[in-house]
Amino acid sequence: MSSPLPAWLRDPPRQLFFTGKGGVGKTSLACATAITLAEAGRRVLLVSTDPASNLDEMLGQPLTDAPRPIPGVPGLSALNIDPEAAAEAYRRRVLDQFGPQAGAEERATVREQLSGACTTEIAAFDEFAGLLAGGAEGFDHVIFDTAPTGHTLRLLSLPKAWTGFLEGNDRGASCLGPHSGLKMQEARFQAALRALGDAARTRIVLVTRPERSALIEAARTAAELAALGLGNQHLVVNGVFHASQPGDALAASVEALGREALAALPAALRDLPREEVPLRGFDMVGLPALRALLRPGEAPPAAPALADAPPTPELPGLDRMVAELAGKGSGLLMVMGKGGVGKTTVAAACAVGLARRGLAVHLSTTDPAAHLDLTLAGGALPGLTVDRIDPKAETARYVERIMATRGRDLDAQGRALLREDLRSPCTEEVAVFHAFSRIVAESRSAFVVLDTAPTGHTLLLMDATGAYHRQMTRHLDPQAAAAGRIVTPLMRLQDPAATHVVLVTLPETTPVSEAAALQEDLRRARIEPWAWVVNRSLLAAGTRDPLLRQRLAGERQQFERLRGGLARRLFVLPWQASPPVGMPALEALVA
């Protein structure tokens, strides 16, 4: 293996686990690491646990849930854990526990219990646990590319939740199946957590960017991982930029922001082994780009020439988008996209812009990482209400409501069993969905701006919405539904007059492809995105720095791609010399 190697690749254990905030480059670094190890003669398996995985596009190879060799890299195979396929396999395993005496009705009831998004999440984790427990035989190294931080931590915390839930609980059933059968999984989940915490077997690579919000999120992740007993962490700061063109104000500000963010490194990160990876001038798509990421001397992929002429006609900014929305008077604005693309900034700026126009606005988030407080910096405006769907608070509220209704006429033993059943990890999903439904209902008479979680988590929430819709409409009087007396959350999301979905992306190949995939998923649910926002555009800001101008060529391609039919409406937000944090900065984006 050639030298010098980055710190996390020196004497690597069998398993490397890449995690961090969405959009920081986990997949790029995981792919580059896998290629480096494979080209040093190792047999390597690269695994994505992200429901919104884009490994296929980056490696240029269609993937399935079984290891598939990557052409051009002998020794490297890759797979995507398919959440739907994993969920179906999980359902079959649970149903197989029933003996021949179980009737069709009982089996149908259990299959219905196993139809929720929580089952999908548990099933995907079960596949992941199997790989950690030694299921990847024949490979020297297994590289895990994880989902965005909030989703990953939720998965990692499940073994402890399961342990508490299953202790002494042999009776009943939840949306994951019969409790007696679930105990079979407990040992496997505990073994997975032990493998992650064993430094001799696993190295956790915590990826971040030289940005204040990303570093704060990385510090939170590091602390939460340590609390789970996972202290074997390495910090990688990806995309560190050094300006080379004197007098270029934009390049100087990009470098200064990164330098200042790293100088204020949170305490939880200071003692971790740390490595910096420089910003490269090309998209991380294809084997040549991925090879060059960790090899500064390697020739990068050839970039198309950037002419001095403007790359595209002028595109409208967020001010135009807010003005168009304000004319509607009320409605639901859902801001969606991959983690790390700036959804929170766009959602907060839109909410501020609408409130400044005298409209009542409720700004909320379903993101477990909850970045709204950081973006708003404690600011307030007349007419603007800000909160978040807090999973723990919503779960406690939901449990007490169930105990007061379903548990009201039960005896002491029955109430104890009901409360025990509500300790299921799935109760949180149901509680969050009820909170989401309440917020959707508010948009009939005011503006509701919803900053959603990273894409994979959002799709799980949308799936819960669909399951609720099917449950409600299954026994409805068709005439009542046709008369409009019944409106489920999904029906409101499907109504283009009531809901406006805005997809946020960065002007790079992978974020645009992921947003396009999300758009297709939404269309399958008969939800049509209203607009796209391209955030952090250097092209719109302008620069003379050679490395940044190399990136501009890629940006131009993405704008042409979007204007070629991907986006019905397209708005742009230029790269900001200062992070748009606080009311004055947010107002400036939509003024």
Q: Tell me the β-bridge partners of 336.
A: 503
Tell me: do 286 and 322 sit in the same domain: no
Amino acid 163: pLDDT: 56
Strand pairing class (177-178; 173-174): antiparallel
Tell me: do 257 and 326 sit in the same domain: no
Give the strand order in the sheet containing 531-537: 384-386, 361-365, 447-451, 331-336, 499-505, 531-537, 570-574
338 belongs to the catalytic site: no
pLDDT in tens, 288-341: 889 988 886 666 666 555 444 444 457 899 999 999 999 999 999 999 887 778
Q: Which of 19, 20, 22, 23 is catalytic?
A: 23
Q: Which of 22, 50, 149, 367 is catalytic?
A: 50
Q: Which residue has the higher pLDDT, 453 or 457?
A: 453
28 belongs to the catalytic site: yes
Of 293, 327, 357, at which residue does a domain stop?
293
Of 278, 293, 308, at which residue does a domain stop?
293
Whether 420 maps to a domain, the answer reads no
Tell me: do 457 and 496 sit in the same domain: yes
Q: Which of 19, 20, 21, 26 is catalytic?
A: 26
Tell me: do 116 and 166 sit in the same domain: yes
Would you say residue 555 has pLDDT above 80?
Answer: yes
Q: Which of 24-28, 338-342, 391-395, 500-504 has the lowest mean pLDDT?
A: 338-342
Whether 305 maps to a domain, the answer reads no
Q: What are the percentages of helix, strand and coil residues in the chain, rounded to 5?
A: 50, 15, 35
Mean pLDDT over all residues of the chain? 81
Confidence band, pLDDT 50/70/90 cuts, at residue 476: very low
Whether 425 maps to a domain, the answer reads no
23 belongs to the catalytic site: yes
Tell me: do 259 and 356 sit in the same domain: no
What residues contact 368, with CB distance under 8 A and at least 6 apart?
150, 151, 153, 154, 391, 453, 457
Whether 483 maps to a domain, the answer reads no
Q: Which of 19, 21, 28, 367 is catalytic?
A: 28
- Domain count for the chain, please give it: 2
Tell me: do 359 and 506 sit in the same domain: yes
Whether 466 maps to a domain, the answer reads yes
379 belongs to the catalytic site: no
Give the closest residue to 538 by CA, choosing from 239, 206, 148, 236: 239
Question: In degrees to the nearest 10, what's the CA dihedral of 281, 283, 285, 290?
Answer: 30
Whether 346 maps to a domain, the answer reads yes
Whether 411 maps to a domain, the answer reads no
* Chain-centroid distance, C-alpha 469: 24
Q: Which of 15-19, 21-25, 502-506 has the lowest mean pLDDT?
A: 21-25
The predicted model gives 255-273 an average pLDDT of: 92
Confidence band, pLDDT 50/70/90 cuts, at residue 369: low
- CATH number for 497: 3.40.50.300
Tell me: do 462 and 578 sit in the same domain: yes
Question: In degrees to the nearest 10, what's the CA dihedral of 374, 375, 377, 383?
Answer: -130
Tell me: do 289 and 341 sit in the same domain: no
Of 259, 293, 327, at which residue does a domain stop?
293
Tell me: do 531 and 584 sit in the same domain: yes
Degrees to nearest 5, angle at CA 365 with 363 and 371: 100
Q: Which of 48, 149, 455, 510 is catalytic?
A: 510
Whether 150 maps to a domain, the answer reads yes
Amino acid 324: pLDDT: 95
Q: Which of 19, 20, 21, 27 is catalytic?
A: 27
The predicted model gives 372-384 an average pLDDT of: 79
Amino acid 182: pLDDT: 56
DSSP element (H, E) containing 460: helix 455-474
510 belongs to the catalytic site: yes
Give the closest residue to 275 by CA, choosing from 292, 293, 287, 288: 293
Tell me: do 63 and 207 sit in the same domain: yes
25 belongs to the catalytic site: yes
The CA R_g of the chain, rounded to the nearest whole Å, is: 24
Tell me: do 227 and 161 sit in the same domain: yes
pLDDT in tens, 506-515: 998 878 988 8
Domain of 544 in residue numbering reads as 318-394+436-473+488-590
Greatest alpha-carbon pair distance for the chain in Å reads 80
Amino acid 51: pLDDT: 64
Give the closest residue to 53 by CA, choosing from 368, 339, 370, 465: 339
As a whole number of angstroms, the distance between CA 341 and CA 539 comes to 16
Tell me: do 20 and 77 sit in the same domain: yes
As a whole number of angstroms, the distance between CA 363 and CA 367 comes to 12
